[in-house]
Amino acid sequence: MRLKRESYLAKIRPYYDIDLIKVITGIRRAGKSILMETIRDELTERGVKGDHIIYMNLEEMDYDYISNARDLHEDVKTRVRDGERYYVFLDEVQHVKDFEKALASFRASMNVSLFVTGSNSTLLSGELASLLTGRTVEFEVLPFSFSEMKEYYELNNRPFEDDMIYDYLKWGGFPLRFEFGDEANTMRYIKGLYDSIVTRDIVPKNSRIDRAVFKAISLYILANAGKEFSGENIAAYYNKNSEKSVSARTIYNYLDKMKKAFLLHSVGQYHLSGKASLKGREKYYATDMGLRTINTNTMSYEDTFFLENVVYNELLCQGFTVFTGKTYKSEVDFVAVKDGKKCFIQVSYLLASEDTIRREFEAFSPITDASPKYVISLDKVDMSRQGITHLNVTDFLLHRKELMLS
């Protein structure tokens, strides 16, 4: 599969030859390997000799003999034969025990540019983190955006229409899922991917966590992402419907592990009156829509939270820092901030009635800030009014219209 993930490449290119370790993180099979392969291809096009590019996918059985930092160091050392610059790509490096020691040694003793990927946000944390403090730059990679889905279809000579937004809302953007032609196999693939994330990144062998309980609760959280809930409420719901019981503390522990495995992103609050972000209160959105769908018996497209989740993920792809906006009287779905500027966003499935239109547009009424305000929906008719811009969601996702900030 070839797709230049240009939004990420534009961020990473300036670092190709800078002496920092390029750490590419993100949920398993989101396309990190595709990005690494593209970087490798670009270096070849720039004239880097093939034997000066070292690429190792440490999940493959070919590298079973590499289990710790010393094994990794010795293997790479045998491939470096001169003093010219080498480009070393280590995919899913977290499988190597104490890998940070090897990375630190590479930087100290070899002329190398290092690129590593991992599927857990604790990749560079813990006791060994001090070895690499100040020596890394991190890029989080998300599954394909809707515009990348369009690009993939066009590169593979497959027809693409705007109405495929409904397919994207349901099944999301994991790259390999586009290889399946029917929903049954797509569902099977995403369920298998979720199981592998739980088994490899969250609840490995000998873990004290009850895997069955974790899966039940995590799937419930994913299916209801974007809705306001608390650990106490989730624990009460689960305990009422299960023979086992969990505490709110356990729920918050699960949420933390889901965030670290990139299943979820948390969104803090931005108090619009005080113009400051608030800590301690968070909403959660699924990293990919397919993870929501695998635990819903039927999907209601009228559920605005699906569309809201897609808009949130797109804002991340576009480099925004995102909050939910709180006033004393109401809530605005998103405050999107970039380069010290911001805008306000409401998301609605369809503006199908005057009551809905009034509710969505009047959500901004308590806000005195003059920053741009947007209502995003599936409607194709422009309903902008009172200085508030209405955007069709596909126009936004396909970058036909960009957000203005102030």
Sheet holding 264-271, edge to edge: 276-286, 264-271, 321-326, 331-338, 341-347, 373-377, 389-392
Residue 280 scores a pLDDT above 70: no
Please give the backbone phi and psi of residue 133, each rounded to the nearest 5 degrees, phi first: -55, 130
Q: What is the pLDDT of residues 19-54, one digit of tens each?
A: 999 999 999 999 999 999 999 999 999 999 999 999
Q: Provide φ and ψ at 6, rounded to 5°.
A: -60, -35
The whole-chain average pLDDT of the chain stands at 92
What number is the average pLDDT over the span 75-86? 96
Token pair, residue 270, equals 């931005």
| pTM of the predicted model as reported, rounded to 2 decimal places | 0.93
Label residue 161 exposed, middle or buried (CB < 10 Å: 0-12, 13-18, 19+): exposed
pLDDT tens across 238-261, in order?
999 998 999 999 999 999 999 999
Query: What kind and span of H or E run contains 140?
Result: strand 136-140
Would the pLDDT of 331 be above 60?
A: yes
238 Cβ contact list (under 8 Å, min separation 6): 213, 216, 217, 220, 245, 246
Evaluate if residue 300 carries a pLDDT over 80.
Answer: no
pLDDT of residue 32: 94
Say whether pLDDT at 279 is over 60. Answer: no
What whole-number distance in Å separates Cα of residue 209 and Cα of residue 212? 9
Tokens of 186: 């797509």
Chain Cα centroid distance, residue 32: 11
User: What's the pLDDT tens digit per position in 118-164?
Assistant: 998 888 887 777 888 889 999 999 999 999 999 999 999 999 999 99
Q: What is the pLDDT, as a whole number, of residue 327?
A: 76
Q: In this predicted model, what pLDDT tens digit does every residue of 176-209 receive, in sequence order?
A: 999 998 999 999 999 999 999 999 899 988 899 9
Q: Are 231 and 253 in contact (CB under 8 A)?
A: no
Measure the CA–CA gap between 199 and 185, rounded to whole angstroms.
21
Q: Cα-Cα-Cα-Cα dihedral of 31, 37, 42, 47, to 10°? A: 170
pLDDT (tens digit, 9 = 90+) per residue, 371-395?
999 999 999 999 999 999 999 999 9
Cβ proximity of 173 and 146 under 8 Å: yes
**Residue in 289, 291, 294 with CA at minimum distance from that of residue 308:** 289
Contact 166, 349 (CB under 8 A): no
How much is the pLDDT for 302? 60
Q: In a 3-state reduction of DSSP, which class is residue 66?
A: coil
State whether residue 183 is helix, strand or coil: helix
The pLDDT score that the predictor gives to residue 133 is 84
| Residue appearing with tokens 């811009």 | 389
Question: How would residue 297 be classed by pLDDT, with cut points 50, 70 and 90?
Answer: low
